[in-house]
Amino acid sequence: MRLRTKYSSEITENDYNKNVVVAGWVQDVRKLGSISFIQLRDRDGIIQVTALKKENPEMLKKLTGVPRESVISVEGVVKENKEAKAGFEVIPRDVKIINSAKTPLPIGVVDKVDTDFETRLNHRFMDLRKPEAQAVFKLRHTLLKAVREELVSEGFVEIHTPKIVATATEGGTNLFPVQYFEKKAFLNQSPQLYKQMMMATGLDRVFEVGPAFRAEEHDTIRHLNEFTSIDMEMAFADEEDVMKILEKVIQKMISMVNNENKKELSILNIKIPVPETPFKRVNYSECVELIKSKNIGVTDGEDFSMEATKALAEELKGFYFITSWPTKTKPFYVQPFENNPEICRAFDLMYDEKEVTSGAQRVHDANLLKERMKDQGLSPENFRYYLESFEYGMPPHAGWGLGVERMLTILTNAKNIRECVLFPRDRRRLIP
């Protein structure tokens, strides 16, 4: 017997009175005298398997005794049944109990009781059997597909850069050290330096989807210590050029989710309209004025507090860019404005009060880059391998980095970013 010939979603009226083999997890068994109803769950939905004593008493006994969440495969005939949720049921001829589940279950899959989030994460494999937990990852899949499709159509080449590195990119304090034979190395915080080095190769447009590691001590509903970053870098471009591409990427993500994830959107009970472009662009100084007008404390020249960002979000709903940041709030690689070096060509893409992406036009002049490093207390000597690529023909370039989990949190209205990653890594969690 084959283990599966059809998913629940593939069974149609054409299969009525025909043989199929279906397989999955026993979600529920209900015995009503001489008849048993088994709810068999597969990736796409639920199939009712109806065992009748008069047809096969042994089979009825076998199925009724299967513990919930066991894996079984059922060969049987599809019968129309208006009372079954799917409009049909399968009358079993042969059943294989492939793998019996232990009892009791560590967490319920269909029970109405709310399991606390920590317990869900402790038993994540089982938590992900719930359609609403799984739906998030189907959206995630579509998001990544959309990014690839959009960037590839714009002529970008997908690359992979090392995750074990010798230097910090986003500031030195939040690095995870690793022992690299006799040397000290780090897990990369961002592909920043490597994607920029690609601009000196002539590849011109590159992107990477990969892990980024941040040893941030704070434990919040927005931060992970390991997240997935979508990074792009584009040569002969300025910040406005890459903002335009970002707008297209965001639109593509949302329209593709709307087209391909109708079922998941309904499971999660969410609607996501495709945002109109261009997104609003508000510069840093305008933001300071807005925040001040709400009587919230803000120091001109510094990054915004949570409270300040919330105040902004009251005025600026949905997606908007904050541009022209004070140079000292941004990393050394961001290009200061030529006529006013106190501010720089950096932008953040926000959604309400949440930051989704940051990006900038970069410094491409090696001497200025060294100056910028020194201004930030960094030693150019430690960045020789990076600086060298700026000394033999480096075009102007710009790019951005977008956190997949942040984007997914926004789309799904998740209360906690950990809902959007399979196995979160945070201050206290290293397993599973």
- Output 88 or 320, the one with its CB closest to ligand AMO: 320
Decide: is 364 part of the binding site for ligand AMO (CB under 6 A): no
Does 28 help bind ligand AMO (rule: CB under 6 A)? no
The one among 227, 320, 383, 386 contacting ligand AMO by CB under 6 A: 227
Q: How far from 95 is each of 70, 231, 299, 392, CA to CA, in Å?
A: 12, 49, 69, 69
Binding residues for ligand AMO restricted to 147-176, rule: CB under 6 A: 170
Query: What is the distance, to the nearest Å, from the Cα of residue 308 to the centroid of all Cα atoms in its chain?
Result: 26
CB atoms within 10 A of CB 162: 11
Q: Which of 149, 216, 241, 371 binds ligand AMO (CB under 6 A)?
A: 216
- Residue from 55, 154, 216, 371 carrying the catalytic annotation: 216
Compute the least distance from the CB of residue 143 to ligand AMO, in Å: 13
CB 414 within 8 A of CB 136: yes
Q: 76 vs 401, which CB is nearer to ligand AMO? A: 401
Peptide bond into 275 cis (omega under 30): no
Residue 92 or 401: which CB sits closer to ligand AMO? 401
Among 188, 357, 389, 412, binds ligand AMO (CB under 6 A): 357
Rounded CA separation 300/309 (Å): 14
Q: If binding is defined by CB under 6 A, does position 398 make contact with ligand AMO?
A: no
Of the residues 73, 190, 324, 358, only one is catalytic, namely 358
Q: Which of 205, 362, 406, 418 is catalytic?
A: 406
Candidates 36, 73, 358, 389: give the one binding ligand AMO (CB under 6 A).
Answer: 358
Residue 431's CB is within 10 A of a number of other CB atoms, namely 8
The 8 Å CB, 24+ separation contacts for 342-348 are 343/284, 345/238, 345/239, 345/398, 346/239, 347/239, 347/243, 347/281, 347/321, 347/322, 347/323, 347/400, 348/321, 348/322
Preceding peptide of 57 cis, ω within 30°: no
Q: Are 126 and 102 in contact (CB under 8 A)?
A: no
Shortest CA distance to 10 belongs to which of 84, 69, 78? 78
Find the part of the chain contacting ligand AMO (CB under 6 A) among 133-141, 177-185, 396-404, 424-432.
396-404
Does position 355 interact with ligand AMO (CB under 6 A)? The reply is yes
Q: Is 120 a catalytic residue?
A: no
Minimum distance between the CB of residue 346 and ligand AMO, rounded to whole angstroms? 7
Q: Does 403 help bind ligand AMO (rule: CB under 6 A)?
A: yes
- If one asks whether residue 223 binds ligand AMO (CB under 6 A), the answer comes out as yes
Residues that bind ligand AMO (rule: CB under 6 A) add up to a total of: 23
- What's the rounded Cα separation, in Å, for the pair 351 and 32? 52
Is 358 designated active site? Answer: yes
**Which residues contact residue 188 at a Cβ distance below 8 angstroms, ignoring those fewer than 6 apart?**
161, 162, 163, 164, 165, 169, 212, 213
214 is catalytic: yes
Is 75 in the active site?
no
Residue 192 or residue 323: which is nearer to ligand AMO going by CB?
Answer: 192
Rg of the Cα trace of the chain? 27
Closer Cβ to ligand AMO, 8 or 309, answer by number: 309
Would you call 406 a catalytic residue per the annotation? Answer: yes
| Three-state secondary-structure class, residue 306 | helix
Task: List, edge to edge, every strand of the sheet that includes 164-165.
Answer: 164-165, 183-187, 177-180
Alpha-carbon separation of residue 181 from 178, 184, 427 (angstroms): 9, 8, 26
Q: Would you give the DSSP letter of residue 432?
A: -
- In whole angstroms, the minimum distance from the beta carbon of 360 to ligand AMO comes to 5
* Residues contacting 16, CB < 8 A, separation 6+: 78, 79, 80, 88
Give the range of 99-107, 202-210, 223-231, 319-327 binding ligand AMO by CB under 6 A. 223-231
Site for ligand AMO in 178-197 (CB under 6 A): 190, 192
Which DSSP symbol is given to 385? H
Q: What is the identity of the amino acid at 286?
A: E
> Considering beta carbons, is residue 161 or 190 the nearer one to ligand AMO?
190
Rule CB under 6 A: choose which of 131, 326, 359, 424 binds ligand AMO. Answer: 359
Residue 264 annotated in active site:
no
> Does residue 208 carry a catalytic annotation?
no
Should residue 405 be labelled a site residue for ligand AMO when binding is judged by CB under 6 A? yes
From the candidates 120, 140, 223, 362, give the one annotated as an active-site residue.
223
Residues 92, 75: Cα–Cα separation, whole Å? 6
CB of residue 31 to ligand AMO, shortest distance in Å: 48
> What 8-state DSSP symbol labels residue 63?
H
Binding region for ligand AMO (CB under 6 A): 170, 190, 192, 214, 216, 223-224, 227, 229, 231, 355-360, 399-403, 405-406
Residues assigned a catalytic role: 214, 216, 222-223, 355, 358, 406
